[in-house]
Amino acid sequence: MKKLLALLTASAAAALLLAAAPTAAQAATTGTITGIGGKCIDAAAAKSDNGTAVQIYDCNGTNAQQVTIGDDQSIRILGKCLDIADRSTSNGAKVQLWDCTGSANQKWAFSNASDIVNPAADKCLDSTDQSSANGTRLQIYTCSGNANQKWTVHPGGNPPSNAGFPISEAQFNQLFPNRNATYSYQGLVNGAKKYPAFATTGDDATKKREIAAFLANVQHETGSLQYLRELNTANYPHYCDRSQSYGCPAGGDQYYGRGSLQLSWNYNYKAAGDSLGYDLLNNPDQVATNPTLAWGTGLWYWNTQSGGASTSSHNSMVQNRGFGETIRSINGGLECNGNGADSRNARINYYKNITSMLGVDPGGNLGC
């Protein structure tokens, strides 16, 4: 908790700094802005009347989602400015469209942490209740670092298409209807781009088997994407290898499982952070609050680490070694060679379910 509070304080400080010196992202730009679930900032019902609700909605390329970011710190849709209702600075104050006046409640700054901050309130643009549902109203709220306050600007038009990714957003939503909002579909797609061979290698069947294998293991590790942190708190002090020269600067009980494949141990946080460009050794809880890292750390392990297997899980799937080898890589000591039959079989059943949804044969060598 102390680490999380420190992160929040740092976020607030960054917001104040950016209020004084907006980033280059605020130069006049036209395009779209996506947030949680890959949804676009949108003017409700495509209206431009004063008081029109600003919401998130499936990206559709309409003018109601074409945003102009002005060099005057304004964000405009359909010629009107994003405006905090009643000039409020309170948590939960709604964002609407209104005639542009240049007032403080229409000023927005973009942080390097992907927040959009109203400097006067020192609060972040926020998707209400951490929801990614169509029609979710936007508001301002104390900056938390959560996925519902993270935004991506796509200059020049619509966000990039996910065509060709071997599982669609609709299929993903069907698999994980009760997931934590941090585990967004767009976060998975974006995270996969760091590892361009992931789910793009081989024929269509191989690509589908790999995404199914990854998501089946993720489903088992996270309770169908409901959990960002390891549930067994008694294990928390067990993941600090003090023989490493860098030790455990965040605290000996801070390297427990987090994220899509429940990254654990100080040396894994160090290596994953170095690969992804984040200081996870000193700030490990970022994995449970940043959607890029919640997916990215799992993808890092999947594509680069072998664990108890002879090669990475990615290689096992594209070389047709079978799903069982991914279990060996992730948790082989506890679930292979006759151990942990219930857990092993649960992973296999998840895998079979996802391959069935994707219309592909699961292949052989499912156990380990």
CATH number of the CATH domain containing 127: 2.80.10.50
> What is this structure's pTM?
0.63
Residues 206 and 269 in one domain: yes
Residues 214 and 146 in one domain: no
Residue 291: its pLDDT value, please? 84
CA 293 to chain CA centroid, nearest Å: 7
Domain boundary among 114, 131, 155: 155
Looking at the structure of the chain, the number of domains it has is: 2
Residue 16: its pLDDT value, please? 30
- For residue 64, the enclosing domain spans 2-155
Residues 106 and 208 in one domain: no
Residues 54 and 179 in one domain: no
Give me the active site residues, please: 221
Residues 128 and 199 in one domain: no
Q: Is the pLDDT of residue 6 over 60?
A: no
Residues 151 and 235 in one domain: no
The most confident of 21-30, 154-163, 172-181, 254-263, by mean pLDDT = 254-263
Residues 14 and 119 in one domain: yes
Residues 148 and 250 in one domain: no
CATH of the domain at 258: 1.10.530.10
Q: Is the pLDDT of residue 25 over 70?
A: no
Q: pLDDT-derived band of residue 160, with 50, 70 and 90 as boundaries?
A: low
Taking the C-alpha atoms of residue 224 and residue 172, their distance in angstroms, rounded to an integer, is: 11
Residues 143 and 88 in one domain: yes
- Per the document, the length of the chain is 368
Domain boundary among 120, 155, 190: 155
Confirm whether 163 is domain-assigned.
no
pLDDT tens, position by position, 191-214: 898 899 999 999 999 999 999 999
What average pLDDT is seen over the chain?
Answer: 89
